[in-house]
Amino acid sequence: MGTRGSPLALAQAHEVRQRLADAHGLAAERFAIRVIKTSGDAIQDRPLYEAGGKGLFTKEIEIALLAGEIDLAVHSAKDVPTFLPDDLWLSSWLPREDPRDVFLSLKATALADLPAGAVVGSSSPRRRALIARLRPDLKLASIRGNVETRMRKLENGEADATILALAGLKRLGLQGKANEILDPHTFLPAAGQGAIAIETRRADERANALVAAIDDRDTEVAVAAERGFLALLDGSCRTPIAAHCIVEGERIRFRGMIITPDGREAFEAAREGARGEAAALGADAAQEVRAQAGEKFFTLFAGA
């Protein structure tokens, strides 16, 4: 299996490996892990949206998958572009971890407690826009890097606070570092946040059968709605987009939002429906927010 080499990516790959081993009664060592360096890992000096967007964390891994050098790829779902190469598909999903964001700071216990003028470090357009919407009196700084790097930047004083995904902290055993779990009603997560996706070749019956044994259908349904929303709204790293779907038995509840970078305007839509309609409900919500925002909203990102 192919994966990025960050501590979080490796933790995710090892989780996939253990689940496959347990499902098939095999030793975990039967599933080899190959680390592949991606463009996104190499670019640390500027935000991803300035360097080409989402596929930067998947392109090299997908090239290896298409070439037959690996049999499956393990991704954070929020890093995967909405449109994949024709011969590849997201064939399996692990049970989703908590999708919420968390606030980390050495100077305040909650986002609301930061003093005016404090610096929050984040390169995510969604997080930056939501922070600006909730706390327009704060300053924003662009910081990149893996979880450990961003936490170290707080210790070095490069920022007073940062926002990270709770799922990543939990997978690294660092959830105790979080000061506050942010309410998704006011700080809506990214599409796919907390979900691990497994990508395989469509024609590879052996790999597809292996990973089918560990597929979590509820996660697949939820992320289908969120990615359906993304697909009609650019869904690159440039646009501040948030989306979250909750699966409750045979029904789903979905909420999606787009925000101007300065946080002053937000357009959102909610849907409820049957789980079998997940992708269509997400797309329908996207049509609504697109109509609310008007094409002027999207000209903000044209050619960005």
The answer to whether residue 79 is catalytic is: yes
CA angle 124/43/50 to nearest 5° reads: 50
Q: At what angle do helices 7-24 and 147-155 cross, to 10 degrees?
A: 150
The structure tokens listed for 41 are 């890992």
Q: Catalytic residue, from 79, 101, 204, 234: name it.
A: 79
| N- to C-terminal Cα separation, the chain | 34
* Bridge partners (DSSP) listed for residue 197: 75, 93
What is the Cα–Cα distance from 36 to 232, expressed in whole angstroms?
Answer: 30
Residue 220 near residue 166 (C-beta atoms within 8 A): no
Strand 139-141 versus strand 161-165 pairing type: unpaired
From 182, 172, 126, 181, select the one nearest 150 (Cα to Cα).
172
The rounded distance, in Å, linking the Cα atoms of 205 and 5 is 27
Check: CB of residue 164 under 8 Å from CB of residue 149: no
Which regions of 67-178 does DSSP assign to beta strands (E)? 73-76, 88-93, 101-105, 119-121, 139-141, 161-165
Which positions are catalytic?
79
